[in-house]
């Protein structure tokens, strides 16, 4: 996999040397998507993480026919990282917002990297853990905001009366 200037800012490679990064890049598979194409659907088997070489990806869920966008990612970002850790179904869907080139890192390949080169595996795991932690903190903030809005609505007498009238 050729190394170009865009690939120097891959978030999960932040602790790797250029040589270590190149070795990992040799183990990934390139995936090309057109605008609007689906990377994966919520509920599907999660077997790989993706690194965005070029383009933008939207990660979202659909609740009651309403799409809720969780995040947009661009060049150098990764997504689907939970699939490296566990074998649970995908928690969200991902779609290309524009033509994309993704680098797929399957769980099995990730495990081979960890076994073959433990120092590189530890560095990758640390970076993935930081990405996951950052995203969990963002989710915590969103939940706090949701709670405060919900609390404000519940304590508002006019809203309660309207809600009761609609749902009676």
What is the per-residue pLDDT across 98-154, written as a single tens digit (0 to 9) for each? 999 999 999 999 999 999 999 999 999 999 999 988 888 887 887 888 788 888 777
**Mean pLDDT, residues 27-36 taken together:** 97
* CATH superfamily label, 5-131: Jelly Rolls (2.60.120.10)
The three-state DSSP-derived secondary structure of 29-95 is: EEEEECCCCEEECCCCECCEEEEEEECCEEEEEEECCEEEEEEEECCCCEECCHHHHCCCECCCEEE
Length of the chain counted residue by residue? 168
In the predicted model, what is the mean pLDDT of the chain?
A: 89
Q: Which residue has the tokens 């009238």?
A: 165
């Amino acid at each position: 996999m050729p190394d170009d200037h865009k690939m120097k800012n891959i978030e999960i490679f932040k602790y790797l040397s250029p040589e270590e990064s190149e070795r990992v890049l040799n183990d990934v598979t390139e995936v090309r998507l057109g605008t609007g194409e689906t990377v994966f659907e919520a509920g599907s088997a999660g077997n790989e993480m993706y690194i965005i070489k070029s383009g933008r990806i939207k990660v979202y869920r659909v609740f009651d026919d309403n799409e809720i966008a969780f995040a947009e990612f661009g060049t150098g970002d990764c997504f689907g990282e939970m699939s490296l850790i566990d074998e649970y179904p995908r928690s969200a869907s991902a779609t290309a917002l524009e033509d994309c080139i993704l680098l797929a890192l399957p769980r099995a390949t990730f495990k081979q990297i960890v076994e073959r080169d433990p120092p590189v595996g530890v560095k990758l795991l640390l970076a993935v853990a930081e990405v996951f932690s950052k995203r969990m903190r963002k989710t915590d903030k969103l939940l706090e905001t949701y709670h405060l809005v919900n609390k404000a609505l519940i304590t508002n007498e006019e809203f309660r009366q309207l809600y009761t009238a609609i749902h009676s």
